[in-house]
């Protein structure tokens, strides 16, 4: 189930589409952001020390904060892509 959910999220957000996402942070606070995946800005060439796909993390560029953020897909509440909202709390 988690693998299917991750693949669905990856498909919906591919090719640099802007989307909104709401998720629950580790401290319990809900956060909503406008973001996109696949941004190459400000990379230092080191890369990550782990594989985010195996950890079921989504690495995104937060458009408002101008920085990278990690969204844990198991804490994702919903995403909205091209006007369609996908609620993951109902799963």
Average pLDDT score over the chain:
82
Q: H helices within 1-91, ranges in order?
A: 2-12
Mean pLDDT of the 44-50 span: 68
CATH code, domain carrying 31 = 2.30.30.520
Residue 1 has a pLDDT of: 47
The count of structural domains within the chain is 1
Structural domain boundaries enclosing 57: 2-42+49-87
Residue 17 has a pLDDT of: 82
44 pLDDT more than 70: no
CB-CB contact of 20 with 38 (8 Å): no
Strand segments, DSSP code E, in the chain are: 19-24, 30-36, 57-62, 67-72, 76-81, 84-87
CB-CB contact of 54 with 79 (8 Å): no
């Amino acid at each position: 189930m988690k693998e299917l959910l991750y693949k669905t999220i990856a498909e919906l957000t591919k090719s640099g589409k802007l989307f909104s996402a709401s998720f629950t942070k580790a401290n319990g606070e809900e956060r909503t952001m406008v973001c996109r995946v696949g941004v190459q800005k400000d990379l230092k060439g080191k890369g990550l020390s782990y594989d985010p796909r195996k950890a079921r993390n989504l690495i995104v560029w937060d458009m408002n904060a101008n920085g990278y953020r990690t969204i844990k897909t198991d804490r994702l509440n919903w995403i909205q892509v091209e006007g369609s909202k996908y609620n993951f709390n109902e799963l």
